[in-house]
């Protein structure tokens, strides 16, 4: 049997998932606000999280997420969109003779780690009949594009895809590749007032085990508990985090400058941080944090390794949509899931064009 997640569990998961989002994946506020709306609506907040070992060999699970403008996810209006997207994907897989019974998250973050939990909660008023969430994540971090998803680069293109909106429209598409999938999803997203549910990557038990970040939801909860424990006690967050994850401290300091430009649906920029010891660090951003450099021009680490941020004053995990000039932050570095680095698939190379897009053409720098 799996374990039941209640409101407190979900909150802990979202705190940890936002930290693991490494600058992307949606602000913590999105998931917390949507959860709060469910509580206000009188919905019974519980769902079952099951381990990969509880699946049978031919059990299929699908990723479900939200796509669109961050503003449109505020206020708790998103939810049915993702439910209908999942139903659309189920219909597409049914046509192939495959039954999708379970869901999993596509990336770590305050929004997209919550979306499959939201789908589970909304799937049935009877808590015993709700769609179960598999303890796995498609990436173990947030990613900016479908073609930078671990699923895709390890041989599982987003095909077919299910899309849905809040009034019950369900769309099934069969893109020729991940680039086409992104175009289709984003065009429909614009047509539906900049928010849409998105479901794809139907994978069997063994496919999930061999290609995704298994156990990542529980891992996120452990991290969330550590951050919240530090927040409650006033202890050093870094010390608490070292108890539950592999992490090293880059710095604690003040954001001196944020340069951001919007281009092609992405936020590009550089965050400049002056550490408490006077050192200067630069974080290159394309939605997610991509590179850390020091004031001597040395590259300290690159994606897909994780560059994670906390508000140093209130311990809130931060995305690049949350950071502001003058904010004191803690920056921690952590290794990406090992599947990113296996030489059989060379999944890490899918980040090359992203690093190039911010002017970096050097080697990948690992944790």
One-character DSSP codes across 99-142: -EEEEEESS-STTTTTHHHHHHHHS-SSGGGSPEEEEEESSSS-
Structure tokens at 39: 């509580």
pLDDT of residue 70: 65
Task: Please state the domain extents for the chain.
Answer: 3-214, 238-357
Query: What is the C-alpha to C-alpha distance for residues 219 and 204, in angstroms, rounded to an integer?
Result: 22
- Arithmetic mean of pLDDT, 2-24: 97
φ, ψ of residue 118 in degrees (nearest 5): -60, -45
The reported pLDDT for the residue numbered 53 is 96
pLDDT score recorded for residue 153? 92
Strands 299-302 and 306-311: unpaired
pLDDT on residue 264? 62
Q: Which helix (H) or strand (E) holds 230?
A: helix 216-233
Each residue of 110-150: pLDDT tens digit?
999 999 999 999 999 999 999 999 999 999 999 988 889 99
- The per-type count for the chain, helices as H runs and strands as E runs, is 10, 16
pLDDT over 60 (residue 76): no
Q: Give the pLDDT confidence of 287-302 residue by residue, as tens digits.
A: 899 999 999 999 999 9
Q: Which of 10, 81, 12 is nearest to 39 (CA)?
A: 10
Q: What is the mean pLDDT of residues 329-352?
A: 97
Q: Given this model, what pLDDT does residue 265 score?
A: 59
Q: Per the structure block, which two tokens stand in for 223? A: 């991290």
- pLDDT confidence of 204, banded at 50, 70, 90? very high
Q: Which residue has the tokens 């374990």?
A: 3
What pLDDT, on a 0 to 100 scale, did the predictor assign at position 144? 87
Question: Regarding beta strands 280-286 and 195-204, do their DSSP bridges make them parallel or antiparallel, or are they unpaired?
Answer: unpaired
CATH superfamily of this structure's domain 3-214: CV3147-like domain (3.40.1610.10)
């Amino acid at each position: 049997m799996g374990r039941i997640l209640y409101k407190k569990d979900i909150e802990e998961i979202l705190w940890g998932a936002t930290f693991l989002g490494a600058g992307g994946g949606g602000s913590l506020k999105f998931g917390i606000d949507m959860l709060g709306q469910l509580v206000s609506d009188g919905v019974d907040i519980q769902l079952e999280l099951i381990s990969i070992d509880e699946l049978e060999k031919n059990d299929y699970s699908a990723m479900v997420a939200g796509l669109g403008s961050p503003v449109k996810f505020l206020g708790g209006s998103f939810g049915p969109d993702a439910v209908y997207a999942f139903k659309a994907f189920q219909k597409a897989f049914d046509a192939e003779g495959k039954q999708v019974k379970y869901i999993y998250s596509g990336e770590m973050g305050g929004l997209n780690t919550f979306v499959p939990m939201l789908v589970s909660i909304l799937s049935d008023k009877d808590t015993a009949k709700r769609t179960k969430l598999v303890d796995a994540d498609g990436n173990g971090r947030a990613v900016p594009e479908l073609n930078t998803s671990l699923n895709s680069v390890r041989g599982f293109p987003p095909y077919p895809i299910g899309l849905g909106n809040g009034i019950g429209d369900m769309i099934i598409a069969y893109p020729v590749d991940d680039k086409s999938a992104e175009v289709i999803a984003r065009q429909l997203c614009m047509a539906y007032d900049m928010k849409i549910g998105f479901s794809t990557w139907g994978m069997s038990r063994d496919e999930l085990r061999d290609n995704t970040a298994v156990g990542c939801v529980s891992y996120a909860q452990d991290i969330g508990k550590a951050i919240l424990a530090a927040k409650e006690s006033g202890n050093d967050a870094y010390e608490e985090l070292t108890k539950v994850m592999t992490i090293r401290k880059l710095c604690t300091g003040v954001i001196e400058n944020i340069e951001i430009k919007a281009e092609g649906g992405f936020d590009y920029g550089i965050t400049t941080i002056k550490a408490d010891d006077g050192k200067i660090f630069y974080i290159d951003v394309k939605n997610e944090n991509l590179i850390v450099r020091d004031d001597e021009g040395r590259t300290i680490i690159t994606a897909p390794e994780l560059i994670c941020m906390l508000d140093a004053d209130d311990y809130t995990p931060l995305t690049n949509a949350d950071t502001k000039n003058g904010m004191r932050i803690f920056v921690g570095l952590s290794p990406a899931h090992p599947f990113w680095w296996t030489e059989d698939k060379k999944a890490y190379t899918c980040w090359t064009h992203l690093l190039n897009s911010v002017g970096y053409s050097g080697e990948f720098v690992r944790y």
